[in-house]
Structure 1
Amino acid sequence: MQRSTTLRALTLAGLLAPAAMIPAHATAANADVSAGDWLLRGGLTHIAPKSDNGDLVGGALGVDVGSSTRPTGTATYMFTDNLGLELLVGIPFKHDISLEGMGNVGYTRHLPPTLSLQYHFNTGTAYRPYLGAGVNYTHFFDEKTRGDLSDHKLRLDDSWGVALQAGIDLAVTDSWFVNAEVRWIEIESTARLNGERIGTVEIDPWTFGMNVGYRF
């Protein structure tokens, strides 16, 4: 399936819309953080792989990886007033896998823990934007096949890659805030069928998250 830049932009706009409605109730709160603060967030993350996920079997078969939405959580420790270290965790995401001319041939699950160094822009207002960069480790497991591949065993190797993010926290009280963020994650995995390497799956997704957070 095709996932265009326009669709991603509309998805992000939908995620940001609830936050845009809160400022009138949040102007008395200050989102600024200080060294030693912990920021905990929990919510939903939508993973949208890029539309062309590579070719398998020497270019004979195009592969498509579907999107997925699951609960996630992050913990950030601020070691200066602006710099923080964040760990992203979540429950396993599930992605359908389709091959050109064969349709849906199975699915995989994965866990995407991501460690990021963030820079928070203290503004003295209810808004606190931030940028981050780090490393992602994606663990694939529980691959299942169906259809034309139902009698075969599919395996995706684990992946290490770069992760970039941008987000904004909006204070509701001095401790509670809401959050919207977007990430790009480099995820490339070697695909194996019955133990034989058949190519590389390039997932490289954009992710969009909406969260509720607590600072202490």
Structure 2
Amino acid sequence: MQRSTTLRALTLAGLLAPAAMIPAHATAANADVSAGDWLLRGGLTHVAPKSDNGNLDASGLGLSANAPADVGSNTRPSGNITYMMTDNLGLELLVAIPFKHDLNVGGVDIGSTRHLPPTLSLQYHFNTGTAVRPYIGAGINYTHFFDEDTADVTGQDIDLDDSWGAAVQAGIDFAVDENWFVNAEVRWIDIETDVSLGTADLGTVKIDPWTFGMNVGYRF
């Protein structure tokens, strides 16, 4: 838990660093958005699953019938696009290159999986008349797990079911000029998946990650 908390704190501090890189003349830029604007962002997202991912029946792996599961973190290129429906309300779609997570049960690596996490969110943008524009959002996430790579433990395939869940976010855009801006954001996503080994159900893994993103954006 301490390792996970420290990692999140350091990552969030790093994501806020773009504010320090804004040149002095950026204070004259206005980050306010208007109805009909499109906001395109691209950068990196770090996915940090919570530290306690639940317990699985790993007796089929020669382990405990109540073994703790652990899902590794990962960082990948990502992007999102927002359409401003009004001066304050925007609809955002999050996309990314597939994330890869290592899976560990009872201290034994059992394989890895990739996932795609498209997320649709309704955002509220706080127009401030300055170079800084914070926003918050909430929506729904669909996580598709695929390409499970099973470690040579039993020779059986591991499968993870797809997941639907809620997602919330907060972010800040920093205007560099009339169109370009830099962005830092954080999200929490409700992701739970049922895990099976061959035909045997092992149980449910609760991933529920925090994600931290740093992006460059363009308004048009």
The normalised TM-score by structure 1 is 0.95
* Maintained 8 Å contact 2:161/2:193: yes
* 2: CA distance, partners of 1:206 / 1:5: 11
Q: Which residue of 2 aligns with 1:196?
A: 200
Equivalent residue for 1:71, pick from 70, 77, 91: 77
Equivalence for 1:139 = 144
Conservation of the 8 A alpha-carbon contact between 1:108 and 1:141: yes
Residue number among 165, 168, 172 corresponding to 1:168 in the alignment = 172
Identity of aligned residues (%): 75
User: Paired residue for 2:97, among 91, 95, 104?
Assistant: 91
Q: Distance in 2 between matches of 1:123 and 1:213?
A: 18
Query: Residues 80-159 of structure 1: matches in 2 within 5 Å?
Result: 80-102=86-108, 104-149=109-154, 151-159=155-163
Pair 1:165–1:16, CA change in 2 (3 A): same
Equivalents in 2 of 1:34, 1:101: separation in Å? 52
Structure 1 residues 210 and 101: alpha-carbon distance in aligned structure 2, compared to 1, 3 A threshold: closer
- How many angstroms does 1:28 deviate by? 1.6
Would the alpha carbon gap of residues 67 and 2 (structure 1) be closer, same or farther in structure 2, given more than 3 Å must change?
farther
Give yes or no for contact 2:91–2:120 (8 Å, CA) kept in 1.
yes
How big is each residue's C-alpha offset from its partner over 1:52-80, in whole Å with a ceiling of 9 and x where there is no partner?
11100185211100000001110100010
What is the SS of the residue equivalent to 1:191? strand
CA deviation after TM superposition for structure 1 residue 4, in Å: 3.0
Calculate the aligned-residue CA RMSD, in Å: 1.4
Q: Deviations over 1:82-124 (max 9, x none)?
A: 000000001100000111132x221000000000000000000
Aligned length: 214
Displacement of 1:197 in angstroms is 1.2
Using the TM superposition, name which of 73-82 and 14-23 deviates more: 14-23
Q: CA 1:2/1:52 → structure 2, altered by over 3 Å: closer, same or farther? A: farther
How does the TM-score come out when normalised to structure 2? 0.93
Which runs of 4 or more aligned residues in structure 1 lie more than 2 Å from their structure 2 counterparts after TM superposition? 1-7, 18-21
> Structure 2: which 5+ residue stretches go unaligned?
59-64
Give distance in 2, aligned partners of 1:57 and 1:182: 33
> For the Cα contact (< 8 Å) 2:18–2:183, is it kept in 1?
no
Unaligned runs of 5+ in 1: none
SS in 2 for 1:89: strand
- Structure 2 residue identity aligned to 1:69: T
